[in-house]
Amino acid sequence: MSPCILETCLRLPVVEVAALVPAAAPLLFALARQHALPDPEEFTFQVLRRAIDDRDCWVRSGLPARVWLCGLALQMARPAHAPAI
């Protein structure tokens, strides 16, 4: 079984954002709606920026990329961690 597109993107030395965004956006927009965030697009941008910056943490976690990204997004969706919009 081939790795998911999220894993492929996050493993690259330079992340291909053009491939990462369509793979991750549906999940992140759904979480933004579920948490009634005022700007789902900005939330998605902030989560993906952090995921790219912190992708070495994903590798060390041993989690599937989608699970790790979901956890990161849920952490950021909480009021205390929501990005300033």
Summary mean pLDDT of the chain: 87
For residue 2, is pLDDT > 50? no
For residue 22, is pLDDT > 80? yes
Q: What is the C-alpha to C-alpha distance for residues 24 and 21, in angstroms, rounded to an integer? A: 5
For residue 80, is pLDDT > 90? no
pLDDT at 83: 57
pLDDT at 81: 53
What is the 3-state secondary structure of the chain?
A: CCCCHHHHHHHCCCCCHHHHHHHHHHHHHHHHHHCCCCCHHHHHHHHHHHHHHCHHHHHHHCCCHHHHHHHHHHHHHCCCCCCCC
Q: Mean of the pLDDT values across residues 38-60? A: 93
pTM for this predicted structure: 0.83
